[in-house]
């Protein structure tokens, strides 16, 4: 397995950052979460004047064998069909990337379709969809390692292109099922509280999904280690996202965490490398059942709560202006001393 060398941000700069933030021309603490974000990004970049360079949304896509069990309202073909929609610029993530100046990278981690790579899709395909974990492990150990390395490779390219802030998204019909199982295993929260409607299941559909996932859990005979649970139940795009997040943290990049699926990925990543979490900004609380509880388990305070549950990185990109505002506050506000204003707090 690839080894990452992730260290927590050096705390020595914290007092200087706090002093700068507290002496901007405002009452202490009056810009709330923006002040907390500015401190976090300053720590990540080890700078009193951090910057957000060349933001990109990396969207990993793959199909899931568990869809064969009827756990999703949407058919499997929607995965590749939506990728074509991304290419045509017509999806939710497209307008948000255009609005907020994000480049969009579409990565085929394991879509069961022959995609038009000549149109700019990045081909990192490991296999044509994961296996059905209701009957067998979703991935082999070799496939797990390949996904981790290819996710990391994708981030290294982004870093070489000048990016220091990334959001991660996903496209994969059925991926709320492995996310729910990871949530259950890595938090101890009862399985039924981890399972939601996905792309629109009704109450009967959710009960069926719960039955399927409970049976899959009951027949699991692995060693219970973090990597084995990731391998046995994970999706190709999700494991690739784990590799990407770990590489981003090693490179001291800011990670914008999207919704339920991406939160489950950084939860899994943090079980192996807890040092990844200081690099993560949790951008929103989604509408998928269990997301709020998973955020609470991670002691994460999401920036937005808009009822989003689309995935694709939409919540992360939507929240980016707040992150940008925090950095602008640190760089563009004047200090009391320089502006010759008497402190009024």
Do residues 20 and 334 make contact, with C-beta atoms less than 8 angstroms apart? no
Q: C-alpha angle with apex 89: 88 to 90, nearest 5 degrees? A: 95
**Quick one: how many helices (H) and strands (E) in the chain?**
13, 6
Do residues 5 and 249 make contact, with C-beta atoms less than 8 angstroms apart? no
| 160 is an active site residue | no
Do residues 93 and 116 make contact, with C-beta atoms less than 8 angstroms apart? no
d(CA 117, CA 119): 5
Q: Rounded to the nearest 5°, which phi and psi values hold at 73?
A: -70, -30
Q: What tokens does 288 get?
A: 């998928």
Residue from 250, 288, 312, 332 carrying the catalytic annotation: 312
Sign of CA dihedral 21, 22, 24, 27: positive
Q: What tokens does 245 get?
A: 């997040």
58, exposed or middle or buried, with CB in 10 Å at 0-12, 13-18, 19+?
buried
120, exposed or middle or buried, with CB in 10 Å at 0-12, 13-18, 19+?
exposed
Give catalytic residue positions. Answer: 312
């Amino acid at each position: 397995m690839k080894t990452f060398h992730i260290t927590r941000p050096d705390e020595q700069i914290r007092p200087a950052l706090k002093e700068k933030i507290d002496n901007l021309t405002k009452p202490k603490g009056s810009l709330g979460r923006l002040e907390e974000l500015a401190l976090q990004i300053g720590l990540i970049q080890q700078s009193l004047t951090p910057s957000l360079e060349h933001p990109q949304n990396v969207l990993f896509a793959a199909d899931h064998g568990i869809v064969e069990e009827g756990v999703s309202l949407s058919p499997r073909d929607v995965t590749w069909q939506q990728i074509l929609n991304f290419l045509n610029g017509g999806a939710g993530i497209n307008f948000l990337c255009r609005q907020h100046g994000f480049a969009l990278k579409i990565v085929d981690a394991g879509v069961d379709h022959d995609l038009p790579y000549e149109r700019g899709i990045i081909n990192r395909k490991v296999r044509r969809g994961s296996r059905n974990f209701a009957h067998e492990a979703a991935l082999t150990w070799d496939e797990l390692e390949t996904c981790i390395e290819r996710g990391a490779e994708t981030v290294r390219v982004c870093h070489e292109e000048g990016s220091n802030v990334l959001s991660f998204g996903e496209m994969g019909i059925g991926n709320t099922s492995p996310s729910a199982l990871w949530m259950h295993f890595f938090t101890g929260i009862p399985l039924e509280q981890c399972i939601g409607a996905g792309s629109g299941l009704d109450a009967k559909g959710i009960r069926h999904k719960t039955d399927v996932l409970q049976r899959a859990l009951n027949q699991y005979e692995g060693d219970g280690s973090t990597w084995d649970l990731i391998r046995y139940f994970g999706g190709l795009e999700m494991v690739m996202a784990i590799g990407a997040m770990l590489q981003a943290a090693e490179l001291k990049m800011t990670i914008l965490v999207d919704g339920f699926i991406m939160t489950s990925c950084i939860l899994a990543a943090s079980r192996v490398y807890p040092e990844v979490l200081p690099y993560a900004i949790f951008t929103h609380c989604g509408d998928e059942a269990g997301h709020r509880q998973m955020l609470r388990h991670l002691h994460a305070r999401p920036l937005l709560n808009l009822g989003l549950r689309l995935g694709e990185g939409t919540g992360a990109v939507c929240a980016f202006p707040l992150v940008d505002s925090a950095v602008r506050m640190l760089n563009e506000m004047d200090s009391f001393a320089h502006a010759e204003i008497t402190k009024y707090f």
